[in-house]
Structure formats: C-alpha cells, structure tokens
C-alpha cells in the first residue's frame, strides 16, 4: 500500500538550481579535501598540486551529477580517468622501485608482489584447506589493507565496486565510448556466464597449483601493469596470453560492441562481486507499470545486465554494476535507484542520492588517491 501512496512524477526532473547543487556537493567537497590533504600525505609541491587537481576534479563531477540529475556520463569520466591514470602511476612506481615493469621471480619469492583485488576469490579455498595465503606478497604490507578496503566497499556497494572502485575497467569503458554506434549488436546471451566459468576454473586451478592462477595465466591487465618477466617458454606463453586477452577483450571487442566485454564475459572478480549484490542495500528496480519495454535500458547497459526476462520481472540481473546507464537512458523514468526494504516507487531520487554519497565517498578515497598518483607522475614528467 505504501507503494501506491507515493507515485513518482512522470516527467524528467528539471536540473537542480546551482545553489541547491552546491549545497548537496559540499559534504563531498570537504571529504575530497580531507582525503587529499590529510596529515601524512606527500608534502612535495607536485603531489600537493596533484591532490588539488584531483579534489577539484572529483568535486566538479559530483556537482554535475547533482545539477543535471544524470549519473552515468559523469561517473564515466571519473572511471575512464582512473583506468588510464592507474597504469601511469603504477608502472612509474615499479620502474622507480625495481627498474622494470616486469616482476622477476626473485621479487615474488621475496614477497614483494603488489596485491590487487583480483586474486581475493582465489585465495579462499587454499586458505581454508591449508591456512596459507597463496600470493607472493606480504599480508601486513599490502594484502590486509586491500582486503579491508574491498570488504568495506563491497558491503556497501555490492557490485558497484566494478563501477566506482575497479582501476581496470576504465580502459575498456573509454574504448567502448569511442564509436558512435556498435558494429556488432547481436551478442549471444550465454557469454554472460563467462565470468562464472572463469571464476570456477581459476578457483580450482589456484587450489591445484597453489598459486593465484588468474594472475599467472589469464589477467589481461598484466599487459598494462606488471607482466611476468619472461625467462623461459612458460613465461613467454603467459605474456602472449596477457597481451592477446588485453587486445581482444579490452580494446577490440569493446570498440565493436560498445560494451564492457572483459567485465561482462570474462572477469572472475566481477562474478564474485555479483554474489555481494545480494547483500548490498542498493539496487536498480524497474517499475513494471510504467515500463513500455522499449529496451532502451537493455541497449544502454554496458554490462549486459538486463534481459527481456529480467525487465519483465522488474529488476536487473545480479551482475548489475550500478553504473546508472539504464536509469539515465529510460525515457519514462521507469528504471530507478532503490533501497531494499523500501517501497518500489518511493523517492527514487533520494535513493540515488544515498547511493551516490556512499559510492562517491569511496571513489574519492580509493580511486582519488590513484588518480592523484597518476597526475603527480605526469607532473613529474612535465617538469
């Protein structure tokens, strides 16, 4: 009954006034300044400038989200920037630390491999069987911190991690944005099961090989972050796989399909995150009464997370990344942000605001520091 009591307006909302938008942006502006200039941050002038640029950038994007009522395109600017600047800062710090982008076996044996979030699902079974973390890194120096950040973000955002925190997905989202129209439009929906298959295969292989199998054999982003120093035939084959997967899934297919193909068809971490969508408070709902299935949302979704069946059920698939593309694309405002446990049609803008405050605060904290590092690297090269 509560649902019927508050039927939302059936017109696209007018842009907010500048004053109201500034007021809504103020908490994020304070948060960005705190994150960029808190005690303990790097105090050299270039890092300070980089932090200031990042703070302005993140605040401006949030302001535009508030002002225009649109989420996707402003988030995409942040996400592509994150995806492009991550390799810049990361490769530079690797080259400074060890003189090469490739990680030699000696570094792995010494436990100095930087830990990203990708292997998290692969560590669970070996840890359960042997109480050992099968990653050549240090728990206190990298693994624990990354797992902590991942857990905090995941509990709040669910698979929103893949749209607001992942520092890999931005490259393919940027490539997918280049062509005006998709060259390939008919995509077999069964490819959506790909990430689950990769997850299953990699979890089993990680247990068998006692190593994070995805990192050593399949990660496309090794091509732009930290490849394995190829000193034998196996190393050569591994690097060839990394480069081929990167070229195919991150460059060519996103360009042809205008979709995030690596995320939709391949990423095992994405499949793992989908499970956490079940516990996240935020979701995307479709008002079945207002929806005239024009499939604009399905076409707009970069992750193939909407099907005719799911639209008929009034919800996105569990792989939804909460990027907001479908909400922005719906001409009848039938696709809305929603907080679980509340009425389906009640105050979707309020739900959007609550989600965006959580997501953007974490994006500033996690992605913002990566962007600042990338900007600082560029400033260093400029002189």
Partner 1 sequence: MEGRPVIACHRTQTRARNDDDHPRMAVSVHFGEALVLGLASGPACIAACGPVLVPSLLAERAGFRPHARYLSVFLGARLAGYLLFAAVAWEIGALVSLPSGPRVLLMGVVNLLLGGVLIWYAWSARNLCGLSCAGEKLVKIGEKKNRRAAGPAALGLLTGLSLCPPFVAAGVRAAELGSVAQALLFFFFFFIGTSVWFMPFISFGCIARNEAVITVARMAMALIALYYLSLGIAMLIGRKTYGY
Chain positions contacting partner 1, by CB under 8 A? 129, 190, 193-194, 196-198, 200-201, 204-205, 207-208, 210, 213, 217, 232-234, 237, 241
Q: How far is the CB of 236 from partner 1 (least distance, A)?
A: 8
CB atoms within 10 A of CB 306: 24
Nearest CB to partner 1, comparing residues 197 and 251: 197
Taking the C-alpha atoms of residue 170 and residue 154, their distance in angstroms, rounded to an integer, is 18
- Largest pairwise CA distance in the chain: 68
Taking the C-alpha atoms of residue 76 and residue 258, their distance in angstroms, rounded to an integer, is 13
Q: Which residues are within 8 A (CB) of 337 and not within 5 positions of it... i.e. 6 or more apart? A: 282, 283, 284, 285, 324, 327, 348, 349, 351, 352, 355
Q: How far is the CB of 306 from partner 1 (least distance, A)?
A: 16
Nearest CB to partner 1, comparing residues 18 and 204: 204
Nearest CB to partner 1, comparing residues 105 and 152: 105
Query: Residue 320 in contact with residue 284, Cβ under 8 Å?
Result: yes
Nearest CB to partner 1, comparing residues 36 and 194: 194
Q: Which residues are within 8 A (CB) of 200 and not within 5 positions of it... i.e. 6 or more apart? A: none
Q: How far is the CB of 262 from partner 1 (least distance, A)?
A: 15
Q: How far is the CB of 207 from partner 1 (least distance, A)?
A: 5
Owner of token pair 């930087």: 114
Comparing C-alpha atoms, which of 317, 24, 319, 314 is closest to residue 160? 319
Nearest CB to partner 1, comparing residues 23 and 208: 208
Nearest CB to partner 1, comparing residues 140 and 233: 233
Q: How far is the CB of 354 from partner 1 (least distance, A)?
A: 32
Q: How far is the CB of 134 from partner 1 (least distance, A)?
A: 11
Q: How far is the CB of 265 from partner 1 (least distance, A)?
A: 10
Nearest CB to partner 1, comparing residues 52 and 197: 197
Nearest CB to partner 1, comparing residues 196 and 357: 196
Q: Which residues are within 8 A (CB) of 92 and not within 5 positions of it... i.e. 6 or more apart? A: 377, 380
CA 310 and chain centroid, separation: 23
Q: Which residues are within 8 A (CB) of 192 and not within 5 positions of it... i.e. 6 or more apart? A: 264, 265, 304, 317, 319
- Between the two ends of the chain, the Cα-to-Cα distance in Å is 64
Q: How far is the CB of 319 from partner 1 (least distance, A)?
A: 12
Give the Å distances, CA to CA, from 301 to 62, 142, 283, 307, 323: 21, 34, 14, 10, 8
């Amino acid at each position: 009954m509560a649902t019927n009591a508050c039927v939302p307006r059936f017109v696209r909302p007018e842009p907010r006034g500048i004053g109201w938008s500034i007021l809504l942006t103020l908490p994020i502006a304070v948060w960005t300044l705190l994150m960029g200039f808190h005690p303990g941050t790097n105090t050299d002038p270039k890092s300070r400038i980089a932090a200031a640029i990042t703070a302005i950038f993140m605040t401006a994007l949030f302001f535009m989200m508030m002002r225009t009522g649109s989420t996707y395109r402003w988030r995409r600017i942040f996400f592509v920037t994150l995806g492009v600047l991550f390799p810049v800062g990361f490769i530079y710090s690797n080259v400074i630390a060890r003189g090469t982008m490739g990680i030699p076996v000696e570094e792995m044996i010494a436990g100095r491999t930087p830990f990203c979030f990708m292997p998290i699902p692969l560590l669970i079974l070996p840890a359960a069987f042997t109480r050992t973390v099968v990653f050549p890194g240090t728990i206190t120096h990298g693994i624990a911190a990354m797992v902590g950040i991942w857990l905090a973000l995941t509990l709040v955002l669910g698979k929103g991690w893949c749209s607001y925190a992942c520092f890999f997905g931005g490259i393919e989202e940027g490539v997918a944005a280049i062509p005006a129209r998709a060259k390939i439009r008919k995509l077999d929906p069964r490819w959506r099961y790909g990430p689950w298959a990769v997850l299953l295969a990699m979890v089993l292989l990680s247990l068998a090989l006692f190593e994070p199998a995805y990192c050593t054999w399949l990660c496309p982003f090794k091509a732009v972050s930290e490849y394995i120093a190829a000193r034998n035939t196996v190393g050569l084959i591994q690097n060839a796989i990394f480069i081929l997967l990167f070229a195919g899934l991150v460059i060519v297919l996103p360009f042809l399909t205008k979709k995030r193909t690596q995320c939709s068809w391949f990423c095992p971490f994405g499949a793992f995150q989908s499970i956490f969508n079940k516990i996240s408070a935020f979701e995307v709902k479709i008002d079945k009464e207002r929806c005239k299935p024009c499939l604009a949302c399905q076409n707009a979704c970069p992750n193939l997370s909407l099907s005719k069946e799911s639209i008929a059920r009034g919800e996105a698939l569990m792989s939804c990344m909460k990027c907001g593309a479908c909400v922005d694309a719906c001409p009848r405002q039938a696709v809305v942000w929603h907080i679980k446990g509340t009425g389906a049609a009640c105050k979707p803008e309020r739900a959007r605001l609550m989600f965006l405050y959580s997501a953007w605060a974490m994006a500033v904290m996690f992605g913002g520091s990566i962007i600042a590092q990338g900007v600082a690297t560029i400033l260093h090269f400029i002189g």
